[in-house]
Amino acid sequence: MTTGLESRTGAPARAQAQRGGARAQAGEVVVRELALAYDSRAGAGVHALADVSLSARAGQLLAVVGPSGCGKTTLLELLCGLRAPQRGSITAPAAVLMPQRDLLLPWLDALDNAALALRIGGCARAHARARAAELFLELGLQGFERSRPHELSGGMRQRVAFVRTLLSGKALLCLDEPFGALDALTRADMQRWLERALAREPRTVVLVTHDVEEAIVLADRVAVLSPRPGRVVAQLEVELERPRSAGDPAVIALRGRALRALAQGAVA
């Protein structure tokens, strides 16, 4: 299906978003010349994204790195159809967003939080909880099914939010800084379970991160964005065996290339 989209300012639609088409069903993501500016009360408007083109094949993990405020969250919201582009096109399958903050509901226990997407989709509570419980076991959350979010560590909350994202059943997962608030050790653990989870349930993933090393360790491809308005200053292919180690010379070399692209993007 192709949908012509009006910009938020009511300007003639020049953007296109395709969802559920033949290519999209295959899980591929193709973004072409995407641009978005926010209205601003001060009048000038904020150009968040300018001319962003990137792509990921089905089942690939595309990492997006860039400085704060360069439009990474905006890009994920566009991919998930939560915003309409003002220019450019998006081809993507049905997508789900794991937001930058975990947004668990404090009055539900961990299992009900994880099962939320299934429940919203009409699944009976017992069945939804049983499906979430299987993933709890695999992600080391067993024993905390009945805990409320405030009783969980940051890493556990992130895992619960990830189970919820995974159980949405969507072909494209858009993960916004999923490990941003965690210490280095927990972060490394989380990276390993993300890899395991994706090996078990392959999906196309767009992962936003500030951490270039994390991008290289996890991704098949890394898109480096410039400061606002974000545009792609480099796309790196990461063709290294998994699991990867941050200390691996090939990882260190690619990290250096990404950091140089970031620095060049900042002065361009």
Ligand X SMILES: Nc1ncnc2c1ncn2[C@@H]1O[C@H](COP(=O)(O)OP(=O)(O)OP(=O)(O)O)[C@@H](O)[C@H]1O
Please pick, from the candidates 5, 13, 46, 250, the single residue that binds ligand X as defined by CB under 6 A.
46
User: Which one among 4, 26, 38, 252 touches ligand X, defined by CB under 6 A?
Assistant: 38
Among 35, 48, 139, 175, binds ligand X (CB under 6 A): 48
Residue recorded with tokens 């969507």: 170
- Residue 120 or 268: the one with the smaller Cβ distance to ligand X is 268
Q: Would you say 42 or 267 has its CB closer to ligand X?
A: 42
Applying CB under 5 A, the residues found at the interface with Mg ion are 72-73
Residue 74 C-beta: closest distance to ligand X, Å: 3
Q: How far apart are CA 141 and CA 136, in angstroms?
A: 5
Closer to Mg ion by Cβ: residue 190 or 225: 225
Residue 73 touches ligand X, criterion: CB under 6 A: yes
- Using the rule CB under 6 A, give the single segment among 62-70, 89-97, 121-129, 255-263 that binds ligand X: 62-70
The three-point CA angle 254-255-256 to 5° equals 90
Cβ atoms of 207 and 191 within 8 Å: the answer is no
Residue 87 Cα distances to 47, 78, 250, angstroms: 12, 11, 37
CB distance 15 to 32 below 8 Å = no
Q: Which is nearer to ligand X, 74 or 86 (CB)?
A: 74
**Which CB sits closer to Mg ion, 115 or 222?**
222
Partner whose footprint covers residue 65, from ligand X, Mg ion, none (CB < 5 to 8 Å by kind): none
- Binding segment for ligand X among 66-74, 91-99, 114-122, 186-194 (CB under 6 A)? 66-74
Give, as ranges, the residues between 145 and 174 that touch ligand X (CB under 6 A): none
233 binds, among ligand X, Mg ion, none (CB under 5 to 8 A by kind): none
What is the residue-wise DSSP string for 92-144? Answer: E-SEEEE-SS----TTS-HHHHHTHHHHHTT--HHHHHHHHHHHHHHTT-TT-
- CB-CB contact of 98 with 57 (8 Å): no
Q: Which helix (H) or strand (E) holds 250?
A: helix 249-267
Distance in angstroms (rounded) separating the CA atoms of residues 34 and 260? 24
Q: How distant, in Å, are the alpha carbons of 43, 47, 165, 188 from that of 84? A: 20, 14, 22, 35
69 part of the interface to ligand X, by CB under 6 A: yes
Which one of 17, 50, 70, 236 is in contact with ligand X (CB under 6 A)? 70
Residues between 169 and 198 that touch ligand X (CB under 6 A): none
Size of the site for ligand X (CB under 6 A): 13
Contacts with ligand X, residue ranges (CB under 6 A):
38, 46, 48, 66, 68-74, 100, 228
